[in-house]
Structure 1
Amino acid sequence: MSETVRTDHVIDITDVVCPITFVKVKMALEDLEDGQNLRIHLNEGEPIQNVPRSLKDEGHKVLSVDRKDDGTYDLVVQKGGLSA
């Protein structure tokens, strides 16, 4: 389970819709140093389909994806050095 993955910051984007979901994630990552981990709480559907792919495209590493009982997800991503 991802509880063993250390996280440096947590954001909840279940109250926003695409494409604002990824904008909020990018803003949160800007506050982290390379190698730090961000836990993102997000909805099923477009967010869980698009956010992990967009993060990988920007050079970040998805460490875990956990589906919660309420249908939401917790995604842990490590900030990569390729982001601008």
Structure 2
Amino acid sequence: MSGKHTDAAIDITDVVCPITFVKVKVALEDLADGQTLAVHLNDGEPIQNVPRSLKDEGHKVLSVDQNGDGTYDLVVEKGGLA
């Protein structure tokens, strides 16, 4: 995962949509507003849907980094609207 400091991390490369977002949402429930979560996810549906769903729920996507191996590292800040 990325070298950026985050409060928690989750690897969802072994799950498929729509469970990918559910796993991220559950991980965010353990965090306080303003804390950050690093998410390691696959190309395709996960990278298309998870960031959009997070934004729709009031969270802030801070970065999305492509790893060059078909995976991405996303950092999200928990928002107060969720």
Q: TM-score, normalised by structure 1?
A: 0.93
Cα distance in 2 for residues equivalent to 1:71 and 1:26: 22
Counterpart residue identity of residue 11, structure 1: I
Structure 1 runs (4+) deviating above 2 angstroms are none
| Structure 2 unaligned blocks of 5 or more | none
1:53 aligns with 2:52: yes
Cα distance in 2 for residues equivalent to 1:45 and 1:36: 26
Match of 1:7 in 2: 6
> How many equivalent pairs are there?
81
Match of 1:31 in 2: 30
What do you get for the CA RMSD once the two structures are aligned? 0.9
| Percentage of identical aligned residues | 80
* Structure 1 residue 69 displacement after superposition: 2.0
Match of 1:16 in 2: 15
Cα distance in 1 for residues equivalent to 2:80 and 2:22: 18
Task: Provide, for residues 33-77 of structure 1, a one-character-per-residue CA deviation record: whole Å limited to 9, x for no partner.
Answer: 000000000000000000000000000000000000211000000
